[in-house]
Amino acid sequence: MIQTLVFPIKAVKFPTTKFEGSNQLRYKETKMELTITRPDDWHLHLRDGELLEAVIPHSASQFGRGIVMPNLKPPITTTAAAALAYQESILKALPAGSDFTPLMTLYLTDTTDPKEITLARKSGVVFAVKLYPAGATTNSQDGVTDLFGRCLPVLEEMVVQNMPLLVHGEVTDPDVDVFDRERVFIDSVLRPLIQRLPQLKIVMEHITTMDAVKFVESCEEGSVAATVTPQHLLLNRNALFQGGLQPHNYCLPVLKREIHRQAIVSAVTSGSKRFFLGTDSAPHEKRRKECPCGCAGIYSAPIALSLYAKVFEEAGALDKLEAFTSFNGPDFYGLPRNTSKTKLSRTSWKVPECFSFPFGDIIPMFAGKTLEWQSSFN
**Residues assigned a catalytic role:** 43, 45, 130, 168, 206, 280
What does the DSSP 8-state code read for residue 18?
Answer: P
Phi then psi for 58, rounded to 5 degrees? -65, -50
The closest of 27, 88, 95 to 61, measured between CA atoms, is 95
Q: What is the DSSP string of 186-214?
A: IIIIIHHHHHH-TT--EEE-S--SHHHHH
Chain CA centroid to CA 193, Å: 22
Integer-rounded Cα Rg, in Å, for the chain is 20
Amino acid at the residue 86: Y
Cβ burial of 178 (10 Å; 0-12, 13-18, 19+) is exposed
The closest of 371, 342, 268 to 24, measured between CA atoms, is 342
- How far is it, in rounded angstroms, from Cα 193 to Cα 50? 38
- How far is it, in rounded angstroms, from Cα 251 to Cα 278? 14
- How far is it, in rounded angstroms, from Cα 49 to Cα 103? 18
The number of residues in the chain equals 378
